[in-house]
């Protein structure tokens, strides 16, 4: 110690104190994040569980304010709209991912596509809604479930492309090389060997893409609107859960507000459940 006399230095005690202080702050910050998550989930479960009964899932809505009824049309509508989106977004995203991982690799075209994909993932969903309005709703002249499907598919596309690329990159190169050495053509090696080896991962990618859009509301407000009645015509406005939540929450009726919480609970169970499922599949997939 004495040899360093004259050199300005903080005492060891103060340095250790600073270190401990940061540790406490870090734990406090993490508690804020985790606490908020737990709080939100607890509130949704507490307020939403009361809405869950057989009618909630199996009946149509009653007139505003009249008790009873359910949100069957909204549940079916959400499934339909998400289904339309998945039919368009998942295959397109999958092939984009195959291109990036197997053909484009590190070339300039692939890097540009990758950057555009990353930027697209950050574009707010409401902007995608405005776009879908401009290219589907405006030319058709009315709001429709199909337009909502297009909006959600645009959101899914980069998510699907990115995850499938990551997963295909995990497939060992030896597999590709052996397939090619056996005389398989490039596309057979890709689809028959590489994709097959990665299928559980690709399934996860699909689930992730669907989960990503299942809670989306903003683009639907601009494309599908909502519908109080039964509709399975994808060329017309259709009931869906998220817009229903938003509209019910803005009514003064306690009964409808409770239904909004019930629908929120349904969404959160789906989203968090699927997320945990994906984690499980991924963990098993690490064995390669």
Partner 1 sequence: MVALTVALIAQAWPSIARFGARFLWTARWDVNKQLFGGLTSIYGTLATTLIAMVIAVPLALVIALLLVELAHPLVSRIVGTAIELLAAIPSIIFGMWGAFVLVPLMQNHVQPAIQRTPLGKLPLFTGPPFGIGVLTAGLILFLMVLPFITAVSRDVLRMVPQVVKEAGYGMGSTTWEVTRRISLRYGLSGIVGAVFLGLGRAVGETMAVAYVIGSSHRFRISWFEPGYTIASNLANEFAEAGSSLHRSAMVELALILFAMTIVFQLLAYAWLRRVRSHTGGRA
Q: Which of these ranges, 53-61, 78-86, 92-100, 245-253, lies near partner 1 under the rule CB under 8 A?
A: 245-253
- The helix-helix angle for 254-285 and 12-48 (nearest 10°) equals 120
CA distances from 177 to 142, 190, 198, 199 (A): 52, 11, 16, 19
Q: Quote the tokens at residue 43.
A: 């509130």
- Which residue's CB is nearer to partner 1, number 47 or number 59? 47
Residue whose tokens read 């692939």: 110
Contact 198, 170 (CB under 8 A): yes
The residues in 171-200 that bind partner 1, with binding defined as CB under 8 A, are: none
Radius of gyration of the chain (CA): 25
Among 23, 186, 188, 196, binds partner 1 (CB under 8 A): 23
Binding residue (CB under 8 A) for partner 1 from 64, 109, 134, 181: 134
Q: Give yes or no for a contact between 86 and 210, defined as CB atoms under 8 angstroms apart.
A: yes
| Residue 269 sits in the site that holds partner 1 (CB under 8 A) | no
Smaller CB distance to partner 1: residue 79 or 181?
79
Contacts with 94 (C-beta within 8 Å, 6 or more apart), sequence order: 160, 161, 164, 202, 205, 206
The single residue among 171, 234, 245, 256 that binds partner 1, judged by CB under 8 A, is 245
CB of 264 to partner 1, least distance (A): 5
- In terms of CB distance, is 5 or 19 closer to partner 1? 19
Please tell me the number of Cα atoms within 13 Å of 85 on its side-chain side.
Answer: 35
- The first and second tokens of residue 27, run together, are 């734990």
**Contact set for partner 1, span 26-65 (CB under 8 A):** 26-27, 29-30, 32-34, 36-37, 39-41, 43-44, 47
Q: Which residues pair with 61 in a beta bridge?
A: 69
CB-nearer residue toward partner 1: 48 or 70: 48
Q: The tokens of 235 are what? A: 């060329």
Summarize as ranges the residues that interact with partner 1 (CB under 8 A).
Answer: 15-16, 18-19, 22-23, 25-27, 29-30, 32-34, 36-37, 39-41, 43-44, 47, 115-116, 118-120, 122-131, 133-135, 138, 143, 211, 214-218, 221-222, 225, 242, 245-246, 249, 257, 260-261, 264, 267-268, 271-272, 275, 279
């Amino acid at each position: 110690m004495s040899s360093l006399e004259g050199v300005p230095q903080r005492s060891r005690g103060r340095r250790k104190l600073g270190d401990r202080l940061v540790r406490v702050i870090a734990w406090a910050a993490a508690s804020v994040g985790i606490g908020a998550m737990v709080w939100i989930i607890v509130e949704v479960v507490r307020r939403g569980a009361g809405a869950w009964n057989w009618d909630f899932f199996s009946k149509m809505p009653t007139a505003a304010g009249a008790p009873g009824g359910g949100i069957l049309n909204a549940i079916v509508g959400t499934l339909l709209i998400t289904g339309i989106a998945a039919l368009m977004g998942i295959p397109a995203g999958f092939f984009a991912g195959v291109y990036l991982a197997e053909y484009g690799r590190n070339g300039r075209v692939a890097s540009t596509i990758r950057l555009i994909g990353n930027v697209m993932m950050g574009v707010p969903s409401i902007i995608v809604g405005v776009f879908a309005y401009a290219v589907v709703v405006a030319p058709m002249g009315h709001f429709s479930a199909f337009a909502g499907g297009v909006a959600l598919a645009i959101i899914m596309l980069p998510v699907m492309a990115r995850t499938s690329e990551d997963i295909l990159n995990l497939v060992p190169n030896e597999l590709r090389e052996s397939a090619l050495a056996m005389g398989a053509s490039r596309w057979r090696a890709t689809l028959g060997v590489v994709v097959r080896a990665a299928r559980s991962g690709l399934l996860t990618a699909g689930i992730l893409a669907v989960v990503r859009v299942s809670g989306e509301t903003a683009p639907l407000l601009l494309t599908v609107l909502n519908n109080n009645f039964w509709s399975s015509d994808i060329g017309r406005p259709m009931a869906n859960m998220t817009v229903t939540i938003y509209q019910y929450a803005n009514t003064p009726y306690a009964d409808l507000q409770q239904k909004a919480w019930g629908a929120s609970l349904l969404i959160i169970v789906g989203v968090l459940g699927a997320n945990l499922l994906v984690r499980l599949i991924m963990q098993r997939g690490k064995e390669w």
